[in-house]
Structure 1
Amino acid sequence: MKDVNSDKWIDASKEEIDSMVKNGVWDIVPLPEGHKAVGCKWVFKTKLNCNGNVERYKARLVAKGFNQKEGIDYETFSPVSRKDSLRIILALVAQYDLELHQMDVKTAFLNGDLEEEVYMCQPEGFIIEGQENMVCKLKKSIYGLKQASRQWYLKFDEIITKFGFKENCCGSMYIPQDQWE
Structure 2
Amino acid sequence: MQQEIQALERNGTWSLVPLPPGKVPIGCKWVYKLKYKADDTLERYKARLVVNGFTQQVGIDYEETFSPVVKIVTVRLVLAIASMKNWPLYHMDVDNAFLQGDL
Unpaired stretches in structure 2, ≥5 consecutive residues = none
> Which residue of structure 1 aligns with residue 28 of structure 2?
40
* Alignment TM-score, normalising by the size of structure 2: 0.74
* Alignment TM-score, normalising by the size of structure 1: 0.46
Q: Deviations over 1:24-60 (max 9, x none)?
A: 1222222111332111111122222222222111111
Q: How does 1:19-168 map to 2 (within 5 A)?
A: 19-74=7-62, 75-77=64-66, 80-81=70-71, 83=73, 85-109=74-98, 111=99, 155-156=102-103
Structure 2 CA distance for partners of 1:29 and 1:86, relative to 1, 3 Å: closer
Structure 2 CA distance for partners of 1:71 and 1:28, relative to 1, 3 Å: closer
Deviation at 1:64, TM superposition (A): 1.3
Q: How many residues align?
A: 101
Provide the secondary structure at the position in 2 that maps to 1:41. strand
When the two chains are superposed, the root-mean-square deviation of aligned CA atoms in Å is 2.6
Structure 2 CA distance for partners of 1:23 and 1:53, relative to 1, 3 Å: same
Q: Which runs of 4+ in 1 moved over 6 A?
A: none
Amino acid at match of 1:76: T
Which structure has the larger Rg?
1
Deviation at 1:98, TM superposition (A): 1.4
Provide the secondary structure at the position in 1 that maps to 2:17. strand
Unpaired stretches in structure 1, ≥5 consecutive residues = 1-12, 113-151, 157-181
Q: Deviations over 1:91-114 (max 9, x none)?
A: 3222221123344432034x28xx
Deviation at 1:73, TM superposition (A): 2.4
Q: Matched residues in 2 for 1:71 and 1:55: separation? A: 42
Query: Which has the higher relative contact order, 1 or 2, with Cα contacts under 8 A spaced 6 or more apart?
Result: 1
